Amino acid sequence: MAPRPLLQVVIGSTRPQRVGGAIAAWFYEVATAHQGFEVELVDLATVDLPLFDEPQQPMRRQYVHEHTKRWSATVERADAFVFVIPEYNHSMNAATKNAIDFLHHEWRYKPFGLVSYGGASRGLRAAQALKPTLAALKMALAGDVAISLAATPVTDGVFEGDEHLARSANGVLDELARLAPLYAQLRT
Ligand SMILES: Cc1cc2nc3c(=O)[nH]c(=O)nc-3n(C[C@H](O)[C@H](O)[C@H](O)COP(=O)(O)O)c2cc1C
């Protein structure tokens, strides 16, 4: 049997007391139960990148910093991503954009899903802001899950997505599973 593609669930918020970790843990559980992927949590708070500080454009892949080389190796091994992102001031949060900007080839021709969250907006403005950045890297959108923290809050550090959100998450995972092998061919 072919090995399952590796899906990285990226926690975009780096804020102490963030809710993003609980939402990513929920998505991780749904993705593990889906069984289409090996699933890995990637926490940008732990990755701990500074503001972009490479002298060369990432397209050249001539990284001088150890933190960039480590980040490159992490992203390189993935076949697909789900970015779990908060909405900050009607857009994506800076840590997510910064982590994406550090690399180039490691992202290319890989599919992604978005799990956004916020107030009434459900983080959709953050999701819409992030899409052109990922399209510029030739990444393919598999779908979105949009969460209202008012309707489904994080309680005592735990997020329990309702049936509707679980269906939405599984739709994204199904599409990622369809796209991952096709995009893997484009990378060869
Ligand atoms: C700097 C900042 C800006 C925010 N701007 C928005 C916003 O534009 N729209 C929204 O729905 N919520 C906004 N919020 C509320 C966040 O949705 C809420 O704090 C959420 O918990 C943030 O995710 P995190 O806890 O994982 O960092 C903002 C929060 C912060 C910290």
- Residue 106 identity: E
pLDDT digits (tens, 9 = 90+) for 30-53: 999 999 999 999 999 999 999 999
Q: Residue 188's pLDDT band (boundaries 50, 70, 90)? A: confident
CA of 152 to the centre of ligand 1 (A): 15
CA geometry: angle at 169 spanning 166 and 170, to 5°? 85
- The rounded distance, in Å, linking the Cα atoms of 185 and 18 is 37
At 57, give phi and psi (nearest 5°). Answer: -60, 140
Which protein residues are within 6 Å of ligand 1, measured from CB? 13, 15, 18-20, 86-90, 118-119, 121
Is residue 35 within 8 Å of residue 13, measured between CB atoms?
no
Task: Please give the backbone phi and psi of residue 79, each rounded to the nearest 5 degrees, phi first.
Answer: -105, -20
Residue 65 CA to residue 115 CA, distance in Å, equals: 30
So where are the chain's domains? 8-187
8-187 is classed CATH 3.30.470.20: no
pLDDT of 2 higher than 80: no
CA–CA separation, 43 and 92 (whole Å): 16
- Kindly give the distance from the C-alpha atom of residue 92 to the centroid of ligand 1, in angstroms, as a whole number: 10
pLDDT 10s digits, 95-119? 999 999 999 999 999 999 999 999 9
Atom 24, ligand 1: residue with shortest CA distance = 18
